[in-house]
Amino acid sequence: DVKVTQSSRYLVKRTGEKVFLECVQDMDHENMFWYRQDPGLGLRLIYFSYDVKMKEKGDIPEGYSVSREKKERFSLILESASTNQTSMYLCASSFFWTSGRNEQFFGPGTRLTVL
Amino acid sequence: GENVEQHPSTLSVQEGDSAVIKCTYSDSASNYFPWYKQELGKRPQLIIDIRSNVGEKKDQRIAVTLNKTAKHFSLHITETQPEDSAVYFCAASKKGGSEKLVFGKGTKLTVNP
């Protein structure tokens, strides 16, 4: 059974703080993703990684950075949190396309509130 | 880049009726189209997907159809049940290159008993 876990379900931070969101998967997936989910806007890709130390920008990377030092772990970093980053953050992972299996498995999400 | 439009944003049906959600995509190179279901307070989960070499795929009460020429694909749910109530997201991606999915904005389906 695939498990994608996220470090926190709820997080409250203050404007200007540095915030770390962590995601861990246990299925040896090559790909990992960070999305943010806002009402009426669907799921928007922030960053993704297809290998250790590799990363690519998604559609809304501004204000975020990522780190992937180990295959199973993908971190999202808000260098200086702002109120417009209040959102639900979802991590996901999947096998590489060439495996023929492209399902993305999602974590439970982290509800981040920036005051 | 790819843009996925999804309609309607909300859909209310009576139990036992059918529900149809439609998506259009802009990039003709996209060739993988999954549908995810997100129940209230839960994570999105894949319910069905289709690749561009197939026109239709069925799995029990759900089916997806794809029209590559028109660049649109649809989710069909027959004999709806209250447990089908959820937000449904369509998505598109390209083979080879990156596996990033571009999602539609979602459809909130309510099935009334």
Per-residue pLDDT of B28-84, as tens digits, reads 999 889 999 999 999 999 999 998 888 899 999 999 999 999 999 999 999 999 999
Q: Do B46 and A103 touch (CB under 8 A)?
A: yes
- What per-residue confidence (pLDDT) applies to A53? 86
Instruction: Give the Cα separation of A63 and A82 in Å (integer).
Output: 9
Q: Over the range B10-22, which residues count as b (16 or more CB within 10 Å of their CB) and which as e?
A: ebebeeeeebbbb
Q: Do B103 and A44 touch (CB under 8 A)?
A: yes
* B95: pLDDT strictly greater than 90: no
More confident residue, A35 or A99: A35
Q: What percent of chain A is modeled with pLDDT above 70?
A: 97
| Alpha-carbon separation of residue A30 from B23, B75, B95, B110 (angstroms) | 28, 29, 15, 36
For residue B105, what is the nearest residue in chain A, using CA coordinates?
A42
Rg of chain B on CA atoms, in Å: 14
- What per-residue confidence (pLDDT) applies to A90? 98
pLDDT tens profile A68-82 = 999 999 999 999 999
- What per-residue confidence (pLDDT) applies to A2? 65
Q: Do B103 and A42 touch (CB under 8 A)?
A: yes
Burial of A25 (0-12, 13-18, 19+ CB in 10 A): buried
Give the mean pLDDT of chain A: 93
pLDDT (mean) for A77-95 = 96
Confidence category of residue B97, pLDDT binned at 50, 70, 90: very low
* Least reliable range by pLDDT among A46-50, A92-96, B77-81, B108-112: A92-96
Contacts of B42 in chain A (CB under 8 A): 108
Q: Best mutation site among B6, B40, B43, B93 for testing chain A: the one with the most A CBs within 10 Å?
A: B43
| Residue from the list A40, A41, A106 with its beta carbon closest to the beta carbon of B43 | A106
Q: Do B32 and A104 touch (CB under 8 A)?
A: no
pLDDT tens profile A27-59 = 999 999 999 999 989 999 999 998 898 999 999
Secondary structure of residue A94 in the 3-state scheme: strand
How many residues can be counted in chain B?
113
Q: Do B99 and A96 touch (CB under 8 A)?
A: yes
Instruction: Give the Cα separation of A61 and B23 in Å (integer).
Output: 25
| Residue from the list A33, A96, A108 with its beta carbon closest to the beta carbon of B43 | A108
Rg of chain A on CA atoms, in Å: 13
Q: Do A102 and B32 touch (CB under 8 A)?
A: yes
Token pair 């920008």 in the structure block, residue: A57
Q: Judge whether A45 and A59 are in contact, CB under 8 Å.
A: yes
Instruction: Give the Cα separation of B77 and B67 in Å (integer).
Output: 18
Instruction: Give the Cα separation of A68 and A99 in Å (integer).
Output: 21
Confidence category of residue A1, pLDDT binned at 50, 70, 90: low
Q: Best mutation site among B5, B23, B101 for testing chain A: the one with the most A CBs within 10 Å?
A: B101
Strand order from edge to edge, sheet including A19-25: A4-6, A19-25, A73-78, A64-70
